[in-house]
Amino acid sequence: MHAMQYTFTLPADYPMDVIRERVARTGHLLDDWPGLGLKAYLVRERGKDGSPVNQYAPFYLWHTVEGMNSFLWDGAFQRPTDDFGRPAVRQWTGLAYEEGDAAGSPARVAVVRRRPVPDGVPLSEVAADAVRETGRSAAVDGALLAAAVVDTACWELVQFSLHAGEAPDGVEGEVFQVLHLSEPGRGLLTRGRQW
């Protein structure tokens, strides 16, 4: 499993309905993309759910690197870059993936929690903790799924989860509204630890 995210941080007075209309018009275009596990079309709005910014920040889980590369290099990624500029595309290697009890429900919110991999702790312990945390996140009432991924270039661990209702109480991380969920290969994402 590979994860990918890019963000467009928009002006404080940007009309976020423009993004909602864009996703309503074009979100279905990845509903059958080869190699894509899922794409969550995510937004944050300044002043809502603790967000300091307006942001469009799609999050992807890929079950093949070929699908990811095809998206980036064969034209689909050109549409948002033409409209908003070319963003940095973050990529992470998968550590764990689990389905939740609300797996068949529509996704309403996503939570993205980023933290550094601590120095002085064996990497095997960090990975095992990430696997356990993924299982706990997926077990929360109303969770659709949870994943843990890592960027070994900067040693950043990311926990990603989707929920059918509001963000769980006491959740740590950035809370996003899910505008659309394309999930052509979600069933092909390997559950459990990724090694």
What number is the average pLDDT over the span 171-187?
96
Q: What is the pLDDT of residue 82?
A: 94
pTM of structure: 0.96
Q: How far apart are CA 81 and CA 117, in angstroms?
A: 31
DSSP 85: -
User: What integer pLDDT is reported at residue 26 of this predicted model?
Assistant: 95
Given a cut of 90, is residue 163 above it in pLDDT? yes
- pLDDT band at 50; cut points 50, 70, 90: confident
Residue 50: Cβ-neighbour burial (10 angstroms; 0-12, 13-18, 19+): exposed
Question: Closest Cα partner for 161 from 33, 59, 57, 47?
Answer: 59
Each residue's pLDDT tens digit, 99-158: 999 999 999 999 999 999 999 999 999 999 999 999 999 999 999 999 999 999 999 999
* Amino acid occupying residue 149: V
Average pLDDT estimate for 64-76: 95
DSSP states along 88-157: --EEEEEEEEEE-TTTTSPP-EEEEEEEEPPTTS-HHHHHHHHHHHHHHHHHSTTEEEEEEEEETTTTEE
Q: Mean pLDDT over residues 175-191, rounded?
A: 98
pLDDT at 184 exceeding the cut of 90: yes
For CA atoms 93, 96, 97, 101, the dihedral sign is negative
* pLDDT tens digits, 8-42: 999 999 999 999 999 999 999 999 999 999 999 99
As a whole number, the mean pLDDT across the chain is 96
Position 170 scores a pLDDT of 82
